[in-house]
Structure formats: C-alpha cells, structure tokens
Amino acid sequence: SSNYVNNRVIRCKAAVAWEPRKPLTIEDVEVAPPKVHEVRIKIIASGVCHTDQEYLTGQFRQFPLVLGHEAAGIVESVGPEVSKFSQGDKVIPLFLPQCGECERCLSPKTNQCRKNRANTQAGVMADGTSRISYKGQQVYQFLGVSSFSQYTVVPDISLAKIRSDAPLDKVCLLGCGVSTGYGAAVKAAKVRGSTSA
C-alpha cells in the first residue's frame, strides 16, 4: 500500500475524562489529520491498565483527557515525512518512543527515550497541541496515545509495525502489560530459561 495522506478531520467516539475521580463519558470527538512525523490510526482493541486509573484519580492535571495506552490498530493515514508506515499497516502505539538516535536509545541499559517526553507527559504532540478536540475544545492525549478513542494520532517514533496476521485483540497488551511484566522478570528479577506452569 502507499502512503495515504488524509487531510480531513475524523469524527468518532471517545471515552473522555472531564475531571479527576469522575466516570468517563462517551463523546463525539474530532481527530485532526496527522502532522509532520505523525500517524493517524484506527484503534481496533485497547486494554485497560492500572496507570489509566491512577491518572484518573488525580496524577494527571490536564483535563479533559482521553486515557488509554495499551492498544493495537490499523494505520488510517500518515503525515508528511513519515516513511516507515503506510495505510493499512497493523500497529501497536507506544507510550515510550524509540527515536533510535538519542543516547538512551543507543544504550543497551535502557530504552527510556526522552524525545518528546515533556510533551507526551503533558498530553500533547511535539508542536504543543493535541489532535483530539470536543466542540472546539482541546482534549489532552494520555501519554501521546489515547487509545480510548476510535481514532488517535501518534508520533511515528511511538509506533511499532506488526505482522499482518497478528490478532489485534491479543497483541494490544504488548503495548504495556506484557512488556512491563517481561521486563520485570528478565531485567529486574534476572529470570533465565523457561518455566512451565
């Protein structure tokens, strides 16, 4: 498939957190087209992580907010200068980017890339704004992902292309839960070899 650029705003459903400690409400939001080095994806499956709940109880100060960071989806369109992704690719958004160029990405000891970190922690993209809005009001994007929306826009360094036959309802957990557990077992606990249950 080719690199498809869609400059139209997409109207879709999202679960919006309007304030801390209040239930999310399903709203009709607008998802803007991807900008330079951004990709708009259709979310097919999303997990719910304890971190989503923690931020809803007040750790995140920016509201309204679309939570969710464990997901899998399909590339809907790409912004300018995106070369690694094309329309129709199956992908997993990443709350930790992988620029591949910074000192941390090049180190074997950490993958804690810091590119765009201040922005993703603040719920916005590299240009300081969110791609999700509700009736003209900016809605913040949780960790640069916001998978509790039918569509979202993520930086191209915060996206992993996966096999076309991958079951999206299962691999969505790779974005956080599986990788966190694997990392704790292999890196922190130094588990070696395999075990059977």
Domain positions in the chain: 10-188
The class of domain 10-188 in CATH terms is: alpha beta
pLDDT in tens, the chain (197 residues): 456 667 899 999 999 999 988 899 999 999 999 999 999 999 999 877 656 677 778 666 789 999 998 899 999 999 999 999 999 999 999 877 776 677 777 777 766 776 777 787 888 998 999 999 999 999 999 888 999 999 999 999 989 999 899 878 878 666 554 444 444 445 555 556 655 55
CA distance 197 to 187: 21
Residues 6 or more apart from 116 whose CB is under 8 A from it?
97, 125, 126, 144, 155, 157, 158
pTM of the complete model beyond 0.75: yes
